[in-house]
Structure 1
Amino acid sequence: SKVIGDEGLVVGIDIQEVNKKLSGIKNVRIYQKDIFDITDLAQIGVSEQFDVVLSDMAPSTTGMQSLDQIRSLNLVESVFGLLPKFLRPGGNFVIKVFDSQNAQNYLKEQKNRFNEFQYLKPKSTRSVSKEFFVIGKHFKA
């Protein structure tokens, strides 16, 4: 909350149980709910779209690579679908993606929704991991 200042707000939404200690931090609100059930920003106590949307969502994995890739891509597509509701024009977006040819094709289609669009695989990620992050800057809405 130091980075966002006195007027900023961090909102965390997770379908899993959330660490209750986080809700005690100034300018931080934590909700345990399914993001796809939120039909209006007022349900999470905000009236304006966000400057940044960060999605670290991942599907339940089965160990079957092709099925896991499909589930991941379905989730990614769903999150991109939420952007007009949650992300203000000019805002920034980060999402975790499990790599596949279909994911690459879908992401190419999404590039034009941002002024800048890049992929990042953090050094801390295992070399065999198929996950990477997509960073979209300056959402065109």
Structure 2
Amino acid sequence: AANTTGNKSLDCIRTNQLCADVIHFSSKILKSNGVLVSKLFMGEDFLEVKELAKSKFKKVQFFKPEASRNESKETYLHCSLLKTL
């Protein structure tokens, strides 16, 4: 996870960029039945990360754990069924 700074906008951008990097990397190393789980924030670049995940995986889901505060913008990405070339 990216270190948080207290600046919610910056933290969102950094965490979501890290998630995008993980999606790119995992699409190169995971087997077709591999699974990716990553934390990200609901922010201005959320849809870009979502579309990236959908371009690499057949099944993309989001979930928010019950332990997460209601006001928190965090969510988790669960990707499976890697698309192959």
TM-score normalised by length of structure 2: 0.84
Tell me by how many angstroms 1:108 deviates. 2.0
Tell me by how many angstroms 1:74 deviates. 1.7
SS in 2 for 1:105: helix
Larger radius of gyration: 1
Paired residues of 1:89 and 1:139 also in contact (CA < 8 A):
yes
Deviations 1:55-78 (A, max 9, x none): xxx211111111111111221121
Partner of 2:30: 87
SS in 1 for 2:4: coil
Say which structure is richer in helix: 2
Tell me by how many angstroms 1:95 deviates. 0.9
Structure 1 gaps, min length 5: 1-57
- Aligned counterparts of 2:5 and 2:61: Cα–Cα separation in 1: 28
- Aligned counterparts of 1:71 and 1:133: Cα–Cα separation in 2: 15
Structure 2 gaps, min length 5: none
- Aligned counterparts of 1:115 and 1:80: Cα–Cα separation in 2: 13
- Aligned counterparts of 2:15 and 2:32: Cα–Cα separation in 1: 26
Alignment of 1:73 onto 2:5: no
Q: Which runs of 4+ in 1 moved over 3 A?
A: none
- Aligned counterparts of 2:61 and 2:78: Cα–Cα separation in 1: 5
- Which residues of 2 match residues 1-141 of structure 1 at below 5 A? 58-141=1-84
Greater length-normalized contact order (CA 8 Å, ≥ 6 residues apart):
2
Say which structure is richer in strand: 1
TM-score normalised by length of structure 1: 0.54
Paired residues of 1:94 and 1:135 also in contact (CA < 8 A):
yes
Percent of counterpart pairs with the same letter? 32
